[in-house]
Amino acid sequence: MKLLVVFTGLLAVYAATPIFPVPTVPGDNSHYKEGDSRYIWILNGDDEPRLVDLKEPVDEQILSTRNGADNEYWLFTRRNPTNAQIIRNGDVNSIKNSNYNPNTPLNVIVHGWNGNGNIAFNSNVRDAFLTVSDCNVIVVDWRDLANQGYLTAINGVPSVGQHIGDFLQWLITNGGGNWNIIHLVGYSLGAHVVGNAGRQSGSRVSRITGLDPAGPLWVGNRNALRDNDGQYVEAIHTDGGLQGIMNAIGRSNFYPNGGRNQPGCTSSACNHSRAHELFAATVRYNHLVGRRCTNIQQAENQQCTGATMDMGNVILSKRGEGIFGLTTGASWPF
């Protein structure tokens, strides 16, 4: 009888104990270790952190019905600096009836996860370009995929980028312009989108700038931004190892303030969004200068003393390569 009572008690204990441990959901990103952690907080389009499960299933049904064909292309120029004109791929009249000028530079801006064409990143960078240059600015709105789960959005990145590349080819063929005056700028997940767009164009785009290219699940990912996706590819790293990738994936890689923790920031969210704020400031003032480093560790430790190179800006003929470190201020224009 005593043996039966003990056995019954053990059954009760095991029944109350989960066979598999319940994963701990973190309150912030202080726990995060790239490649090991299951959860991470990632900024949405409004620069608000959302918890992401890096093991969530991909929604294959969404991917089968939503892709880069759903991209929208919003044109802004100095004649319409805040009111978008929609250019529709395949509709030549949408070019003819717009303010598109093939003789001026074309800057293409691509948002990240959970974003859309109206978020602050787009307007800040758009306004900076139009302030310093008579140019075309096209904001790509890919919200149909960007506003899905993070892993689903990741799997949609190649299609979104390839359609942008095809759109640019169509635009040049039917509206004029040339690859040597095109600059693609992508923030976070959008940085990998513009990499795919450049690749689709045969790497003919003059410049590509990745603003803190997304990090989670992108290390070693063949669809990530590459250093040969355009004639010149630059990456600005501000939240490396968390929401951004720390790897030197551009031709030139800038690590402001060590590439991880930005002055005036107390969170990963702030560090991540600082990339597009810094870039917009360099477009307007071209005042942030990096020093060449021998390796990323030297950049992290802010010990770079080599040759100088300007970070960001709008110069289409800009060329260079290497790892660069620099320090900035804590508030605009840094």
290-309: average pLDDT: 97
Residue 3 is encoded by which pair of tokens? 């043996």
- Active-site entry in 212, 227, 239, 310: 212
89-118: average pLDDT: 97
Is 331 one of the annotated active-site residues of the chain?
A: no
Cα 204 from chain centroid (whole Å): 20
Residue 173 is encoded by which pair of tokens? 């063929």
Is 188 one of the annotated active-site residues of the chain?
A: yes
- Active-site entry in 94, 98, 159, 188: 188
Strand order from edge to edge, sheet including 233-236: 80-87, 72-77, 136-141, 106-110, 182-187, 207-211, 233-236, 252-256, 322-326, 289-293, 308-310
84-95: average pLDDT: 98
Q: Give the C-alpha separation, 24 to 21, whole Å.
A: 9
Per cent of the chain over pLDDT 90 is 87
Residue 297 is encoded by which pair of tokens? 């560790």
Is 287 one of the annotated active-site residues of the chain?
A: yes
Cα 97 from chain centroid (whole Å): 31
Query: Burial of 9 by CB count in 10 Å (0-12 exposed, 13-18 middle, 19+ buried)?
Result: exposed
Q: Give the C-alpha separation, 275 to 256, whole Å.
A: 9
**pLDDT, position 27:** 78
In this prediction the pTM is 0.92
Domain 29-326: which topology? Answer: Rossmann fold (3.40.50)
265-285 residue pLDDT tens: 999 999 999 999 999 999 999
